[in-house]
Amino acid sequence: MAIQLYVVFTLVAASIHDCDGVLRFASYYRDHMVLQKSPERAVVWGYGPEGEQVKFTLSGQNLQSISQATVTNGIWRVSLDPVEAGGPYNVTAGVQNSTAVLTDVLFGDVWLCGGQSNMFLNLYQIFNASEELKRAAHYPHVRTFMASLVQSETEQTDFIHVQIPWSVPPAYLAGFSAVCWLFGRDLYEKLQYPIGLVESCWGGTTVEAWSSPRALQQCGLLQQPDDGPKVNSVSWNAMIHPLLNMTIKGAIWYQGEDNTIYHQEMYNCSFPAMIDDWRMAFHQGSGGQTALDFPFGFVQLSTSKKNSTSDAFPNIRWHQTADIGFVPNPRMQKTFMAVAMDLPDEKSPYGPIHPRDKQDVAFRLSLGARAVAYGEHDVPFRGPFPSKILSTTKYLEITYDQEVSVAPSENIFEICCSESQTPCGPKSRWVPAPIMQWGPTTVQLSTTLCSPNEEVAALRYAWRDWPCDFKACPIYSASQILPAPPFIANRPPAKGINEL
């Protein structure tokens, strides 16, 4: 399944040449950019004549800061003193008779946006695109940058090409990631200070392409066929590794569709391992300025085929949480997730696998970021998840970890009927478990479709590629904003109240 999204739009593409002794900034330092605000120190680097002393000046907003760095192996690098959110500033690097200047630089939070085609889906391709593009002009402090789609067999220090340089909206925004932009805009609405968005994604890519050899080795994923953007580490090498010196606040991610048919069973290892490795690499690359546990948000897969009987999409959704069902969790700390299985788009002109409602996706991500990255305690960001299951001969009663909004359903819950008390196996069968009744935090399911000589060996919810119509799953938070995520639970041998 090559899930590559092809689009046509006009972009600014700039080639990045090897170090030639000319004083200049690295590829992603440009006018209009956003640098990471305090308490972190923004890292700025570039190229220059070997051995020269580079005088580095930050000026503006009644502030002037001067630093120096020596060009070593053709590269200079400066860690700025912490700067509060705001701007604009001018950034000047100078050696003898040569200077390089950045203008209209803001300080705020920098977020990296990665993944495959649903992250790549552009703003002009979504619902209400014209309205969103008009509205974008009201957010001049949300700035955007996009890396070109490039592969490399070796780790690159800088980008080989830049697709969209740092821009003030609405310039070039029609061709920018919709999820990335809308997420940044929603954060700005709450934070009211500059947000920098760095898009580096590619349709049709697997998690292996975005992972370093270190991360892949942890999961035993050392070999991969030579298949374009699916080759191990080629996207990491060319599209992530060049960014490591940059100080960032966090990352969001939308990927997994291609792993439904490639190393699906390993995604519960490869995805968390990639997150851990990115965190370590950005922390080291920025000289400790990017947090070692920087917040990482992701979109749980939406839908693909309405009548599919394959378990591939539900399996990946489960593996995206390291088989726990929700985040943050002990294996995936400081992460947040936007459930998207209730946002199908059967008539999408880009194929149902590319739903056009990216506003709800971004909003759900922003709630997670506000809670996990910014520590807002009263922000609901997770849908209901079971805390207990009571099993009797005729029904199951699920107790959720929060109040729920419930609608009737005959088949979104399923139970595994087994003639033994062992976990659900090949000789067992899955049957619907209709919702019988519910309370503020409980849902009661019928188990009568199991025969008298069968036991309920497992329970699952929304375990389909396309589990419900648009915003019509039966279980939501009490506010009806956040859908319950899918889950699967094997029954322990003992009857009674089972802790999940």
**pLDDT tens per residue, range 439-457:** 999 999 999 999 998 899 9
Q: C-alpha 27: how far from its chain's center?
A: 24
* Paired strand residues for 200: 114
What is the CB-side half-sphere exposure of residue 198 using CA atoms within 13 A? 26
Region 406-423: mean pLDDT is: 90
At residue 14, the pLDDT reads 41
Indicate if the pLDDT at residue 3 is higher than 60. Answer: no
Sheet holding 75-79, edge to edge: 24-25, 43-47, 75-79
* Paired strand residues for 338: 299
User: Which residue type does 18 have?
Assistant: D
Quote the tokens at residue 365.
Answer: 């991500």
User: Which residue type does 113 have?
Assistant: C
Region 281-302: mean pLDDT is: 98
Mean pLDDT, the chain, integer: 93
At residue 11, the pLDDT reads 37
Region 54-76: mean pLDDT is: 92
Cα separation of 387 and 361, whole Å?
Answer: 25
User: Which residue type does 394 have?
Assistant: K
Going by C-beta distance under 8 Å and a sequence separation of 6 or more, which residues neighbour residue 169?
136, 137, 139, 140, 142, 143, 144, 181
pLDDT tens for 198-247 read 999 999 999 999 999 999 999 999 867 666 667 999 999 999 999 999 99
At residue 142, the pLDDT reads 98
Indicate if the pLDDT at residue 10 is higher than 60. Answer: no
Find the helix packing angle between 267-285 and 312-319, rounded to 10°. Answer: 40
Residue 67 burial by Cβ neighbours in a 10 Å radius (0-12, 13-18, 19+): middle
Estimate the share of the chain in helix, then strand, then coil, as percent rounded to the nearest 5: 20, 30, 50
Within the chain, what is the greatest distance between any pair of CA atoms? 89
Region 342-371: mean pLDDT is: 98
Region 314-330: mean pLDDT is: 98
Q: Apex CA 66: angle with CA 62 and CA 68, to 5°?
A: 165
Region 23-37: mean pLDDT is: 98
Indicate if the pLDDT at residue 8 is higher than 70. Answer: no
114 three-state secondary structure: strand
Indicate if the pLDDT at residue 5 is higher than 60. Answer: no
Q: Check residues 66 and 379 and name the one with the higher pLDDT.
A: 379
Q: Which of 100-114, 225-239, 396-410, 460-474 has the lowest mean pLDDT?
A: 225-239
Quote the tokens at residue 356.
Answer: 């056009």
At residue 321, the pLDDT reads 98
pLDDT tens for 155-206 read 999 999 999 999 999 999 999 999 999 999 999 999 999 999 999 999 999 9
Backbone CA torsion sign across 25, 26, 31, 36? negative
pLDDT category of residue 7 using cuts at 50, 70 and 90: very low
Report percent pLDDT > 90 for the chain: 86
Enclosing H/E stretch for 267: helix 267-285
Quote the tokens at residue 37.
Answer: 């605000």
Q: C-alpha 63: how far from its chain's center?
A: 35
153 three-state secondary structure: coil
Residues in the chain: 500
pLDDT category of residue 497 using cuts at 50, 70 and 90: very low
At residue 176, the pLDDT reads 98
At residue 405, the pLDDT reads 98
Each residue of 330-361: b (16+ CB within 10 Å) or e?
A: ebbebbbbbbbbbbbbeebebebbbbbbbbbb
Indicate if the pLDDT at residue 16 is higher than 50. Answer: no
